[in-house]
Amino acid sequence: MKKIDYFWLRAAVHITAILFAVQCIIEIEHMRKTEYGWVFWAFLCAFAASVLCSVGAVVWNARSKE
C-alpha cells in the first residue's frame, strides 16, 4: 500500500486549529451576534475532522509497512 504524505494533513490541522482558537476567543469575549452561533460549531467540526483525518493517516501508514 502507498504511504500517505502528512504535509497537507498537518497544514489542515494547523489552519483549523488557528481558526478554532480565534472562534473560541470571540465566543469568550461575547463579540458574536446571536444568529452566528453556529460558526463556532462549524469550526469545531472542521478542526475535529482534520485531526481525525491526520490520525487516520498515521494509522494507515503504520499498517502499510513496505
- Give me the torsion for CA of 47, 48, 51, 54, rounded to 10°: -110
Kindly report the pTM of this predicted structure: 0.88
Q: Phi then psi for 64, rounded to 5 degrees?
A: -100, 75
Contact 20/42 with Cβ under 8 angstroms? no
Contact 12/53 with Cβ under 8 angstroms? yes
Q: How many CA atoms lie within 13 A of 37 on its CB side?
A: 3
Domain boundaries, the chain: 7-63
Ordered mean pLDDT values, 10 residues apiece, the chain (66 residues):
90 98 94 91 98 96 82
